[in-house]
């Protein structure tokens, strides 16, 4: 019986495997390469530390999107 895997996990494993090959299967070197890449490509977006912060951030984004839609309806102002 073959189990179905999540395509996101398959992609993550594929990337991990490629990084491991690049580092000669040396975990320490893989970490060094990752830290070097992160230093060369700083992330300017929001950072979350856990699932609760991620949920809070996503809810805030949704609230802001709803407010924008209320202020700028897609078909102009429907009020008469």
d(CA 73, CA 80): 14
Could you say which DSSP state residue 13 is in? H
Cα of 3 vs its chain's centroid, Å: 26
78 pLDDT more than 60: no
In the chain, pLDDT over 70 holds for what percent of residues? Answer: 88
Tokens of 6: 């999540």
Whole-number CA gyration radius for the chain: 21
Q: Is the pTM of this model over 0.75?
A: no
* pLDDT tens by residue, 24-59: 999 999 999 999 999 999 988 888 899 999 999 999
Residue 79 has pLDDT above 60, yes or no: no
Domain ranges of the chain: 8-42, 44-74
């Amino acid at each position: 019986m073959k189990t179905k895997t999540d395509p996101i996990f398959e992609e993550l494993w594929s990337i991990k495997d490629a990084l491991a090959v690049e580092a000669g299967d040396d975990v320490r070197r893989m970490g060094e390469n990752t830290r070097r890449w992160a230093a060369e490509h700083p992330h300017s977006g929001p950072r979350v530390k856990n699932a609760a912060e991620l949920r809070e951030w996503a809810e805030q984004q949704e609230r802001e999107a709803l407010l924008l839609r209320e202020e700028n309806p897609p078909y102009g102002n429907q009020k008469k």
